[in-house]
Structure 1
């Protein structure tokens, strides 16, 4: 049974751009980009299951998350869309493109390859669990708790976007389904769902300082995304936040070419 995803919909005409965040992100992380894109096109940004304001349910497999996204498009009467996904969200949109290619006008994949990855979020999960136990009342307290396990301040600031005010407890609480995410972490690290290649127009944007799409991965990437155009930005994994203007320019140029 697909999950009814929370989403932002700017409205407008034409084929929409659907934006899908990465692990522990949300549609809210993309608001500055949405503000720009909405000037020229309809934008739909989603909260994936167990993220943002969407329901908490068991299962983080890519087939299930692809079905969630397709069900949302059905509810919005969107027959075809440009799909943009970052990191885990990139695997979600690749899954949709493989499972339902007729629904995809074009594919934009931000800093992820269609492959399995190793486990490397142990410190992040430990920091989030520390937040749960610590029950912070201010964002300063929350940052101090996260810092016990997460050294990088930009990463802590990103994780803190998952905090919301709990009026009953008079403090801050995590809005993500942490039990569900951590419990099915293996599925998140796995390959996208579906088989074969997506042969439609595709843009892959990677960060030069990221290890998620290395040169060694490109032959395997092109087996799944044979039409992929590759753009490399001077950035790490969160390239859309580190180089917002360059990221916007790459996406806009590609969409203008395929529209």
Structure 2
């Protein structure tokens, strides 16, 4: 693991492995780059893979306040300091929000965009609603403990999800204060309003969702058809909120086919 400095003495922890065209992996809210190690290991045989802890998570700098724009500029700084002019972006959950917002601002630096289990409409509210629906079961537990108790409701492949979540905790534990700061950063993102129109993008986009994911709604998914002009959408029938973990081989096949289809279109 290495670190690069961004702005105001912030440091971003990252790992870079493999060779080929760059692929940058961005983890979800309250997670860390350990959540993407298996995907990194699968992709590094064909790509130059970068995985990192976003601001306020893992072993990157944790401040008392930041916003989504800081996440976007951190990603730009990471790419610049690693001499990456363009990359494929893969974002899970919150990582998808960061990747989408980065694409909206720096389109020429994004070769393709992949969103995994990413609710662009009301990601924070969806998780809060799930916690409220099961408040009797999680009462008295902090957020990280509550998420473990909610695993059966969020994932189809529960044992895979449990091991995946435990590996993230071994790497780094998110405190309650860190989680609150990270959540507030997302609340500034304007798509939390149900009637918002997602900014349109024509960058080739792959969206992967699990049919058992309680944080995704049909209303949200329908809006994606109008927001992405070059869209491939895949629903995984044996997955919940982490298709790349619950169905890793299926995800890798879908992703490689998506990338190859873009190569053939350019020829």
TM above 0.5: yes
Residue from 92, 95, 99 that aligns with 2:101: 95
Q: Distance in 1 between matches of 2:139 and 2:165?
A: 10
- The 3 A distance-change label for structure 1 pair 249 and 127 is farther
1:147-173 CA-to-partner distances (Å, cap 9, x unmatched) read 7982547566555434459xxxxxxxx
**Which residue in the other structure is 1:197 paired with?**
200
Question: Residue 127 of structure 2: SS of its match in structure 1?
Answer: coil
Residue from 111, 121, 126 that aligns with 1:115: 121
1:204-234 CA-to-partner distances (Å, cap 9, x unmatched) read 0111111344332234223332322111111
**Does the alignment pair 1:150 with 2:156?**
no
Q: Distance in 1 between matches of 2:209 and 2:146?
A: 28
**Which residue in the other structure is 2:17 paired with?**
10
- The 3 A distance-change label for structure 1 pair 50 and 127 is farther
Question: Residue 66 of structure 1: SS of its match in structure 2?
Answer: helix
Q: Distance in 1 between matches of 2:251 and 2:27?
A: 15
RMSD: 3.0
Q: Distance in 2 between matches of 1:47 and 1:65?
A: 10
TM-score normalised over the length of structure 2: 0.76
Deviation at 1:119, TM superposition (A): 5.5
Q: Distance in 2 between matches of 1:9 and 1:63?
A: 24
Deviation at 1:66, TM superposition (A): 1.1
Q: Distance in 1 between matches of 2:27 and 2:34?
A: 9
**Which residue in the other structure is 1:257 paired with?**
261
**Which residue in the other structure is 1:53 paired with?**
59
- The 3 A distance-change label for structure 1 pair 220 and 147 is closer
Deviation at 1:39, TM superposition (A): 0.9
Question: Residue 253 of structure 1: SS of its match in structure 2?
Answer: helix
Aligned 1:230-241 pairs, distance under 5 A: 230-234=233-237, 235-241=239-245
Q: Distance in 1 between matches of 2:140 and 2:26?
A: 25
Residue from 222, 226, 250 that aligns with 1:223: 226
Structure with the larger helix share: 2
Q: Distance in 2 between matches of 1:22 and 1:148?
A: 13
Q: Distance in 2 between matches of 1:125 and 1:82?
A: 41
**Which residue in the other structure is 2:179 paired with?**
181
| Ranges in structure 1 where 5+ consecutive residues have no aligned partner | 132-145, 166-173
**Does the alignment pair 1:20 with 2:26?**
yes
Q: Distance in 2 between matches of 1:202 and 1:41?
A: 18
Corresponding pairs, count: 235
**Which residue in the other structure is 2:155 paired with?**
none
TM-score normalised over the length of structure 1: 0.78
| Ranges in structure 2 where 5+ consecutive residues have no aligned partner | 1-6, 153-157, 193-197
